[in-house]
Amino acid sequence: MDVRAALDALVMGRVIGDVLNLFVPAAKLIVQYESTLVTNGFDINPSSWETSNLDGINIAGKELMPYVGPQPPTVIHIYLFAVFKQKGVMETVKTRPVERKNFSTGKLAGENELGLPAAPLYFNSQKQPRTRNSSL
């Protein structure tokens, strides 16, 4: 894993600084949608969820909070996968965010004793313009 390249991509994408504090990745996160391998800064159609209690390469986990889309809807939205090492099994999120505005990944990690991220990956999603049906 090229740690410097991974950090550079996260800094250039403003993930480090805006969403996560500076850290050194301890693992490599691989995200794939069907046959498409996603890398930092990749553009993709929107889709996301939050899970916990992942065991090694097992993607099955427990959803702790339902996915909430961009609010307000934006043209370009950044999605972040951040893997944190857990001290044990998480049954619930100690403090649930009441709104997306001013959401803090660091605060959520601190309140749930997660520490620094082990592996992050972000990608961009661009909202497709609506098409009008001229027959209506």
On the question of pLDDT at 47 being above 70, the answer is: no
Q: What integer pLDDT is reported at residue 35 of this predicted model?
A: 76
Q: What integer pLDDT is reported at residue 52 of this predicted model?
A: 58
Terminal CA-CA length for the chain: 54
Q: What integer pLDDT is reported at residue 122 of this predicted model?
A: 84
More confident residue, 19 or 45: 19
Give percent above pLDDT 70 in the chain.
Answer: 65
Q: Which domains does the chain have, with CATH numbers?
A: 3-126 (3.90.280.10)
More confident residue, 120 or 42: 120
pLDDT in tens, 51-98: 555 555 545 567 776 766 666 666 777 778 888 888 888 777 777 777
Q: What integer pLDDT is reported at residue 72 of this predicted model?
A: 66
Burial of 47 (0-12, 13-18, 19+ CB in 10 A): exposed
Q: What is the average per-residue pLDDT within 33-61?
A: 63
Q: What integer pLDDT is reported at residue 125 of this predicted model?
A: 76
Mean pLDDT of the chain: 74
Token pair 């894993």 is found at 1
Q: What integer pLDDT is reported at residue 29 of this predicted model?
A: 82
Structure tokens at 120: 């992050």
